[in-house]
Amino acid sequence: MITSKLTSKAQTTIPQPVREALRLRPGDEVVYEIEATGRVVIQRAQPRDDDPFATFTEWNGDEDRRAYAGL
């Protein structure tokens, strides 16, 4: 069993064997899932699309791409 301590600021270091198993690198995000049994599952988060305009589909037409192509 692998353990780690919680600091007074509720922080902990993810132990190296866990980081290796999840293939975590600096800057990666993790997801915690709390099951009904109280068990917590940690996994590597899926990469997000960092495009802040990705949700604005109303500006995602050919005309818009041509109009903004030179910016």
Q: Mean pLDDT over residues 29-55, rounded? A: 87
Domain definitions of the chain by residue range: 1-48
Please tell me the distance from the alpha carbon of residue 15 to that of residue 20, in angstroms, as a whole number: 9
Average pLDDT over residues 9-18: 96
Q: Find all residues with CB under 8 Å of 2, minimum gap 6, and list them.
A: 15, 17, 18
Q: pTM score, two decimals?
A: 0.62
Domain 1-48: CATH architecture, name and number where available: Ribbon (2.10)
The whole-number average pLDDT for the span 23-45 is 95
pLDDT, position 49: 67
